[in-house]
Amino acid sequence: MAAKTFHLTVARVGENVFDGDAVSVVLPGKDGVFTVLANHESFVSELKEGEAKIEAADGKHHHVPMPHGGIAEISANQATILL
Amino acid sequence: MALKDIKTKIGATKRMNTVTRAMEAVSAVKMRKTQAMAFAGRPYARAALAVLTRLSGSGNALRHPLTAVREVKKLGLVVLTSDKGLAGALNSGIIKRAAEAVAPYKVEDVTIYEYGKKGEEYFARRGYTVAKAVENKRDDVPLSVMEELTRELSEGFLAGTYDEVFVVYSNFKSTFEQLPTGRTLLPLSRERVSELVADVRPAKGKWSEELELKAPSSYEVESGGDILSVLIPRLVAVSLYHMLLESKASEHSARMVAMKSASDKSKEVARDLTRLYNKIRQAAITREVSEIVGGREALST
C-alpha cells in the first residue's frame, strides 16, 4: 500500500526549493524536532536553524539546510515552509 | 551648413549610435537577469501570503502592533528609483506618483526613505526630511538590506514617527510597460499583501492562476503564539524586497527600450545627414563642372 502523502512547499526568497507531494518531513521546531505526516493537524511553528529532512512521494530523500530558521504552516493536508 | 561641418556631425552621430547600442545590449542582459529574479521571487510571496491568509482567516485574528491602523497624520514614504537616468520616463513617473502621495501632507510631516539617487535629489531639493538615502547600485541586493530597512521602518512606525508607510515603486508589467505604483506597506493587512501578490501575478504562465485559500477553523500555535511577530516583519521585508526587484526589472527594461529608440533615431539622423552631405557635394561638383565648361567656351569663341 502506498504511503499517504501531503502537499509540501518549501520556499526560499528567490527560489522554490521543493514543491510536491511528500510522505514525511522532519523539522527542527523551536520547541524540539517534530515530524509531519499526512493529515497532520493545523499547526504553525517557528523553526530553528537546522535541516529539513523530506521524504518525497517518489521515495527520494531531500535534505534542505535552513541556516536562518523559518516558519512552518500546516493545514488541510498541506504544509508550507518559509525559509 | 558647410560640407566639413556635416561630415563632423555624421561622425559624431555614428559614435553616439555605438554608445547607445552598447548600452542597449548591456541593459538587455541586465533586464533578463532582473526579470528572472523578479519571477523567481513570486513563489515565496505566494507561499507567505497563503500562510498569512490562512492564519488571519482562522480563529487567531491578526493582532500585531504592525497591523494597527491609526489616523494618518504623518507619512513615511519609501521611494524606489534608479541611480542613473537615461531610462525614458521611468523615474519621472515614479517621482510624479510620489509627489502625489505626499501632496496632502505638510512638508515637515513627511519622512522619506530613498532607495536610488534620482528620488533623493528631487525630495532633498524641496526641503523634505530624508531619513535615509541608499544608493541603488547593485542588481543582486541581498534580502538582509531590505530587512534592515524594514526594521527601521517598523521602529519609526511603532514609535509614532509616522502613522503609515507608503512605498512608490515601478511595477514591472512587461518589457514595454512599467507602471509607477504606490502601495501602503504599514500597517500591514491581508488586502494589501494580496494586492502586492496580484501585482506580481503575471498575465499568463505558471503562476498566473488565482490563489484559492481556505482557512482552517483554528490553529495549534507553538512557541507561545509569537509566530506573528516573526511572520509579519518577514512579510514586510519580503514585500519590500519584491518591490525592489520589480523596480530593478522595470529600470533595465525602460533603459533598454529608451536606448533602442535612441539607437534607431541616431541611425536615422546619420542617414539623413549623409543624404544631405551627398547632395551638397554633388551640387558643388556640378557647379564646378559647369564653371569649367563655361570658362572653356568663353575662351574658344
Q: Which of B42-46, B74-78, B204-208 has the highest mean pLDDT?
A: B74-78
Q: What share of chain A is helix, strand, coil (3-state, %, to 5)?
A: 0, 65, 35
Residue A26 to chain B, least CA–CA distance (Å): 16
**Domain boundaries in chain B?**
26-215+225-255
- Residue B251 is which amino acid? E
CA of B221: which chain A residue's CA is closest? Answer: A44
CA of A71: which chain B residue's CA is closest? Answer: B231
What is the average per-residue pLDDT within B133-155?
82
CB contact under 8 A, A42 and B216: yes
Report chain A residues whose CB lies below 8 A from the CB of B222. 29-31, 43-46
> In this complex, which of B37, B143, B219 lies closest to A43 when CB atoms are compared?
B219
CB contact under 8 A, A71 and B218: no
Q: Is the pLDDT of residue B160 over 60?
A: yes
Residues B110/B129, Cβ–Cβ less than 8 Å: yes
Residues B115/B134, Cβ–Cβ less than 8 Å: yes
Return the pLDDT at B225: 55
CB contact under 8 A, B222 and A42: no
- Report how far apart the first and last C-alpha atoms of chain A are (Å, whole number): 33
- Which ipTM value was assigned to this complex? 0.71
- Residue B148 is which amino acid? E
Q: Which of A57, A16, A17 is nearest to A37 (CA)?
A: A57
- CA–CA distance, B287 with B100 (Å, rounded to integer): 62
- Residue B142 phi, psi dihedral angles, 5° rounding: -75, 155
CB contact under 8 A, A71 and B230: yes
**Domain assignment present for A27:** yes
Q: What is the mean pLDDT of chain B?
A: 82
Q: Is the pLDDT of residue B12 over 60?
A: yes
Return the pLDDT at B271: 95
Which residues in chain A (42-61) have CB-CB distances under 8 A to chain B? 42-46
Return the pLDDT at B283: 93
Number of domains in chain A: 1
Please write down the HEC assignment for all residues of chain B. Answer: CCHHHHHHHHHHHHHHHHHHHHHHHHHHHHHHHHHHHHHHCHHHHHHHHHHHHHHHHCCCCCCCHHHCCCCCCCEEEEEECCCCCCCCCHHHHHHHHHHHHHCCCCHHHEEEEEECHHHHHHHHHCCCEEEEEECCCCCCCCHHHHHHHHHHHHHHHHHCCCCEEEEEEEEEEECCEEEEEEEEEECCCHHHHHHHHHHHCCCCCCCCCCCCCCCCCCCEECHHHCHHHHHHHHHHHHHHHHHHHHHHHHHHHHHHHHHHHHHHHHHHHHHHHHHHHHHHHHHHHHHHHHHHHHHHHHHHC
What is the average per-residue pLDDT within A57-77?
82
Residue B34 to chain A, least CA–CA distance (Å): 11
> What confidence tens digit (pLDDT) does each residue in B264-296 have?
999 999 999 999 999 999 999 999 999 999 999
What is the average per-residue pLDDT within A20-25?
87
Q: Is the pLDDT of residue B220 over 70?
A: no
Residue A67 lies in domain: 6-82
CB contact under 8 A, B58 and A19: no
CB contact under 8 A, A44 and B215: no
> What confidence tens digit (pLDDT) does each residue in B235-269 have?
888 888 888 888 888 999 999 999 999 999 999 99
CATH of the domain at A59: 2.60.15.10
CB contact under 8 A, A15 and B227: no
CA of A69: which chain B residue's CA is closest? Answer: B230
**Domain assignment present for A1:** no
Q: Is the pLDDT of residue B34 over 90?
A: no
What is the average per-residue pLDDT within B94-104?
89
Mutate to test the interface with A, among B51, B58, B207 (most CBs of A within 10 A): B51
CATH tag for B26-215+225-255 (out of 3.40.1350.10, 3.40.50.2000, 3.40.50.10140, 3.40.1380.10):
3.40.1380.10
Return the pLDDT at B231: 77
Confidence of residue B88 (pLDDT cuts 50, 70, 90): confident
Residues B120/B114, Cβ–Cβ less than 8 Å: yes
Extract the C-alpha cell encoding B262. Answer: 535612441
CB contact under 8 A, B219 and A42: yes
- Report how far apart the first and last C-alpha atoms of chain B are (Å, whole number): 37
Confidence of residue B83 (pLDDT cuts 50, 70, 90): confident
Residue B255 to chain A, least CA–CA distance (Å): 24
Predicted structure pTM score: 0.79
